[in-house]
């Protein structure tokens, strides 16, 4: 069943390889600018946050943000472009490739983009700053990054499937995706929120993702409830992505 999905995924990876250098420059520039401006420029004014320097506090979040953003963008725009401009999806449908394989391939492509670009930003931050962590912490961190990237990749597949206009995709990213990321404690601790709002923010899967990823990478902690919240949400959104895509293709 996965032979067709792997073929589509391989095709998308060949496209990524062709433009990898230009992609990396654009991907690294944004989070690196934020890190230099806030992590370095503001650390003398902010001091410690949750017991760690501010530059250390935001580094895991920036790496995670890059990965999930790349996963979402690749899935959304790749699927929309192949469906509405190049009609590649229609070409896939006249081959023995099943509909679920197309969805799985696009999710895998977004997921791969997220991991590659998150790794690139992590290496740059690691190279130019004193940000260090134990290699053992990386395993716990991946337990959040992998399902988190899959979650955003699935969300991207849903958007790329149901939205026909590119400006609508941009609006969704501005109104839903970016606020969900920035409200999840990427740049500040959740204790900054009023006490009545904190439970609502903690219920967001993005909060579980960013808080869990930070704890895993900085201190080696592994909040099991947060990891389960991210993983279960990713599975639910995956099921929704497959169902919506099949419904759209049957029209």
CA distance 43 to 34: 12
Is the pTM higher than 0.75? Answer: yes
pLDDT in tens, 115-135: 888 888 888 877 777 767 777
Residue 59: pLDDT band (50, 70, 90) is confident
DSSP string of 163-203, one letter each residue: ---HHHHHHHIIIIIHHHHHTTSSSS-GGGS-TTTHHHHHT
Residues 198-227, mean pLDDT to the nearest whole number: 89
Higher pLDDT, 96 or 63: 63
Backbone angles phi, psi at 102, to 5 degrees: -65, -45
Residue 228: pLDDT band (50, 70, 90) is very high
DSSP type of residue 38: I
Higher pLDDT, 20 or 235: 235
Residues 144-156, mean pLDDT to the nearest whole number: 89
**C-alpha distances in angstroms, 199 versus 15, 178, 190?**
42, 20, 10
């Amino acid at each position: 069943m996965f032979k067709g999905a792997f073929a589509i995924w391989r095709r998308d990876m060949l496209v990524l390889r062709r433009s990898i250098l230009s992609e990396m420059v654009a991907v690294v520039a944004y989070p690196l600018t934020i890190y230099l401006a806030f992590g370095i420029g503001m650390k003398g004014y902010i001091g410690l946050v949750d017991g760690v320097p501010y530059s250390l506090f935001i580094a895991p979040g920036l790496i995670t943000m890059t990965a999930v953003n790349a996963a979402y963008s690749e899935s959304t725009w790749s699927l929309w472009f192949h469906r509405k401009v190049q009609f590649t999806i229609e070409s896939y449908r006249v081959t023995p490739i099943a509909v679920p394989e197309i969805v799985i391939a696009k999710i895998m492509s977004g997921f791969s983009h997220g991991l590659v670009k998150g790794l690139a930003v992590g290496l740059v931050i690691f190279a130019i700053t004193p940000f260090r962590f134990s290699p053992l912490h990386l395993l716990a961190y991946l337990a959040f990054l992998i399902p988190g990237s899959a979650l955003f990749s699935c969300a991207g597949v849903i958007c790329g499937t149901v939205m026909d206009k590119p400006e609508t995709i941009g609006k969704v990213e501005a109104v839903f995706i970016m606020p969900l990321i920035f409200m999840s404690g990427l740049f500040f601790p959740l204790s900054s929120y009023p006490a009545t709002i904190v439970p609502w923010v903690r219920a967001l899967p993005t909060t579980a993702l960013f808080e869990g990823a930070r704890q895993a990478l900085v201190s080696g902690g592994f909040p099991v409830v947060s990891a389960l919240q991210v993983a279960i949400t990713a599975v639910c959104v995956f099921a929704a992505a497959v169902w919506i895509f099949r419904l759209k293709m049957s029209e």
